Every structure is written in structure tokens, then in C-alpha cells.
Amino acid sequence: MTQLAVIPPEIEQALVPRFEQLGIDEKKVRMELSFAAQHIENNSYLQKCPANTTINAILNAVQCGLTLSPLAKECYLVPRQGKCELDPSYIGLAKTITDTGAVTHFVCQVIYKNDDYILDLASEKIVNRHTPAVLLGKEKGNPIACYSIAHFPDGKRHVEFVNIEGKDGIYETSRRRSESWKYYESQKAQGRTVSCPWVTDEEQMIRKATIKRHVSKLPRTVGDWSLVDKIVDTDNKDYSLEAGQQEIGAINRLLQAIEMLVDAYSKPVDTEEYANQIEERMANGLTIDQAEDIKQELTKFIASHYKAQLAETGHEIGDVVERGESVIVIKGVNMWGKIRGVYLNDDGEETKKRAALYFSDLLGEDEAEETN
């Protein structure tokens, strides 16, 4: 099967000028298209993916500084939820880190149950000895841990050690969150068989998850790490669904709340540029995790403003105030500027009856008039 029989002409025609814009010569372009053809030729699901997703995945590989060469094994084209996606390998990630010059080379190994090993988490080496079970003539058993060793130009090194099982283990923090794994599990429950890298290439996935953790702890005083971050972001696409209307709606309500608090209290808070930045991030598409980060960011912004507003009244959360014959304890301020509280009974104990106050309720008449 020829290259054009697998990759339609419109894909090649779209990619060539975009490669040229990146300053990539024609020989490299043809080579990467040939590698992409091999990926697609061997996967019937990739052949059904929309052309634009295949174009973006191939272009993404080159922009990440990776090659689709099957021999190099730096990255792969994979079908994911009906789209062609780029899946960087642990080899590609490690290669890009060493390209920065900050790290000379990586050693990343999975420890299996029947391996012979000695660990000392209190030492700098951490892994003092590791002999694979296969060299001892044993079955390797299940994976139990993984370690990554980054060697620096000055001879020093840094070790990352991760368990496979447990709350902070690879299965819980990486595999369980993978959309590929979720889809595999859902199809398995229905008696269907589908491919999943966490099944077919588990050791490579464990290594990649470990190196991704290691990346966040390595010093960045040398080299350009932008491609490393791009590869990690690309790989993270498999770990979060796109944000839906519910998440986007929540963010929009928080933006409205910020506009309201500024208009209501005429505070010198410049939110226009801040809101534009949030909207720009939303325009580029958000995952659920990214949407959650923005919601927390906006909520903290609003909370800090209202906390300062509450302090100006001479009160803080936990204060007890009287309103007529009622006694109320202040519990907080909601995002619309209403003070939340609960009523106290005659014994001074909190009841389940909720109370709502406004800032003007906590001020004297003269002060309240000044704020209105």
C-alpha cells in the first residue's frame, strides 16, 4: 500500500506548507509523512479518523520536536474517541528533557514483585540494588514500583520513586484517570475487547507516568523547557474530558459575580483585563480539570474581596452580631455579596436556622449612607 493510499492527498497538501512555515525541509516532511503512513496503515481505527485530527497530530509531533519513526519510538498516532491523537512515549519525553542540557541521561525501570532489590528511601541513591527477576530465572510477577534517575552534567543525580498501588500510586493517579483506561474498562464490562496502552504496553505507560512526575521536580536553570511542557500537556489530553456546559456556565456566573461586586461597591478593582484573560483561556478550549482550576481561582478572588469588605465593617467570620432581637454568628460571604450566618438560641448555641445579612446591616446609619 502506498503512502497516498493511506494518507489522502488533502492531508499531505495541508501539512507540507505548514511544515515549511516551521522551517522544516522537504526531506524531513516526506520522512515524517512516510512514518505517519506506517502508523495509519497498521491501524484500521486511525484510517477512520477525521483528516483534520490526523493533520493536527502529525503537526503536533514535529512541533514537540519528536519523530513518528517506528524505530525511534518517541511518539505514536493513536485513535482516541474517534479522533487521531499524538501519544508521546516515555522515550520521547526523556529525549526532550536531555535536549535541554540540564540532564545528560535518564534511567527509568519498573520493579516487579519477584525482582531482587534493596531500597533505602533515606539515602540519596534510594535504589541501592535492582536485579530483574528474569535474570534470576523467575517469573517477574506484578509491578510494584518504578524509579527514575536523572543524571546531571556535574555528575550528581536525582531520583524519583513511585509505588504502583495505593492512594498516591501510578494506578490511582494516572491509570484510573486515563480516558483510554476508562473506555477499556467500560467495553470490557460489556464483553467487548478493545486496545488500551495500559494493557498492551503497561510497563512503558508506568515509566512515562513516573518521568512526568519527575519533570516537576527537576531544576530548570539550564536550557529551554518549553517543548518538555508541550509534550506533557499533549500527553495529559488522555487524562481529562473536555469541559462541558455545566463547567463553562459556572465560570460565567463567577465572572458575573465579579462584575457585580465591583459595580456594587465601586472598589478600585480592575477586572477587565483579568476577565479578558479568563475568557481567552476559555476560548482555547478547557478540560474539566482546567475549568475547575479557573473556578477555584475566581472563587478565591471574590472571597478575598469580600473578606476585605467585611473587615472594613469591623467584623470578621465567627463574630456574633445582634440584629433586632436576634443574635447571629457570621459564617461567611457568598459570591453575590450576601453575608451568611446562623441564628443562636437563648443559650448562645448555634441553631440550624440560617441568617442572611448585608454589609450595611453591620454599619451604623451614617456609615451605611456613605457606602450606598
- The string of pLDDT tens digits covering residues 139-148 is 999 999 999 9
Asked, for residue 192, whether it belongs to a domain, the answer is yes
- 287-297 in b/e form (b: 16+ CB < 10 A) is beebbbebeee
Predicted local distance difference test score (pLDDT) of residue 28:
80
Domains in the chain: how many in total?
Answer: 4
- Higher-confidence residue of 186 and 163: namely 163
Q: Are 71 and 77 a contacting pair, CB within 8 Å?
A: no
Domain membership of residue 22 (yes or no) is yes
132 in the same domain as 30: no
**What's the average model confidence in pLDDT over 239-252?**
66
Q: What is the pLDDT of residue 130?
A: 95
Give the end of a domain, one of 157, 187, 220: 220
Percentage of the chain with pLDDT > 90?
Answer: 28
Q: Are residues 102 and 31 in the same domain?
A: no
Secondary structure letter of residue 151 according to DSSP: E
Give pLDDT, residue 268.
45
pLDDT, mean over the chain = 82
pLDDT band, residue 183 (cuts 50/70/90): confident
The pLDDT of residue 180? 84
**Residues 48 and 160 both lie in one domain:** no
Residue 359's pLDDT is: 76
In a domain, 232, yes or no: no
- Residue 15 included in any domain: yes
Distance of CA 231 to the CA centre of its chain: 12
Q: pLDDT band for position 372 (50/70/90)?
A: very low
Q: Give the residue from 242, 218, 244, 215 showing the smallest Cα distance to 231.
A: 215
Question: Which of 35, 66, 88 is a domain's end point?
Answer: 88
Using the predicted structure, report yes or no on whether residue 366 has a pLDDT greater than 50: no
Task: Give a yes or no: residue 266 inside a domain.
Answer: yes
- Is 71 found in the same domain as 105? no
Whole-model pTM: value is: 0.60
Q: Considering the domain boundaries, does residue 235 fall inside one?
A: no
* Percent of residues, the chain, with pLDDT higher than 70: 86
Mark whether 72 and 96 lie in a shared domain: no
239 located within any domain: no
Give the end-to-end CA distance of the chain in Å, rounded to a whole number. Answer: 77
Domain containing 274 equals: 245-312
Same domain, 80 and 103: no
Same-domain check for residues 93 and 216: yes
**In-domain check, residue 238:** no
Question: Average pLDDT of 322-343?
Answer: 83
Same domain? 208 vs 136: yes
Nearest to 241 by CA among 286, 200, 287: 287
